[in-house]
Amino acid sequence: MTSLRFELTGPAERDLEEIFFEVEERHGLLVAERVYDNLLRTFALLADMPEMGRHRPELWPAPCRFWPTGPAYIAYRSDVRPIRIVRIARASRDGSRFAPR
């Protein structure tokens, strides 16, 4: 039986889908699939080493941590198991996407 290493919140699932389709539209299906696979590998890496990311209180209070990957930031909770991917956003975008609601 395989245990779940990470989980995505509803907003993070929508972010992942949005990123995939945005990249596909701009760069094609193969690039979009590579970006998607890279994000999934990064989620698994964070699950293996959850303390890797750093706290960014200006974006979201602890216990959220942030990890850059390519042109995106991943916001995740390292204090729960499995780790919880909270949001994913392009680094060039306004950090308000990370604001807790």
Give residue limits of the domains in the chain: 6-98
**Which pTM value belongs to this model?**
0.86
Q: What mean pLDDT do residues 16-39 have?
A: 96
- 35 burial (CB, 10 Å; 0-12 / 13-18 / 19+) is buried
Strand partners, 85: 8, 76
CATH 3.30.2310.20 fits 6-98, yes or no: yes
pLDDT band at 99 (very low <50, low <70, confident <90, very high): low
Alpha carbons 32 and 40: distance in angstroms, whole number: 12
On whether the CB atoms of residues 58 and 16 are closer than 8 A, the answer is no
What DSSP letter does each residue of 63-88 carry, written as one string? Answer: TEEEEEETTEEEEEESSSSSEEEEEE
Of the two residues 62 and 41, the one the predictor is more confident about is 41
